[in-house]
Amino acid sequence: MSDLSSIVGDIDRLMEAAQREAEKARDAQAQVGAAASGTALDGKVTVKLAADGRVSELVLDDEVMSMSAQQLAREISSAFNHAWAGARSQDPAAAAVAAIDPAALASRMQELREEGVRSMQRITESLGDVMQKIDRRLS
């Protein structure tokens, strides 16, 4: 049974290490600045995107405030699309990684680790029960 306890401990250590790596990825992603920016109307509308693709900044020149809401929305969309296209063309691998939510990944890794440990404990207990039954029959 000590071998099984050792296996459970090894699995727990591996899952903790994987969780630490996921947390490092989350922290590294949080430290990354703007991934890309796009403009419209000769720079009067600027959208900056963070590495994860979310809008980190929207700058509107005072001149655009007299536009209709529909026109302004089109220009903001255009600036966003330029920023998004620029971010995706810089590094496809980085874009794929940026699309991952490290917080959700770390949380899921924690859940999996805990479930794995519980499963291994149940297996260990079941094997212990079987070994006791075998010992009683052989005695």
DSSP string, 82-99: HHHHHHHHH-HHHHHHHT
Per residue in 28-63, pLDDT (tens digit) is: 655 554 478 899 999 999 999 887 778 889 999 999
Per residue in 6-35, pLDDT (tens digit) is: 777 777 777 787 778 777 776 665 555 447
Homologous superfamily (CATH) of 2-138 is Nucleoid-associated protein YbaB-like domain (3.30.1310.10)
Q: Count Cβ atoms below 10 Å from residue 40 Cβ, excluding itself.
A: 20
Q: What is the pTM of this model?
A: 0.44
The full set of domain ranges for the chain reads: 2-138
Average pLDDT over residues 62-73: 92
Q: Is residue 110 predicted with pLDDT exceeding 90?
A: no
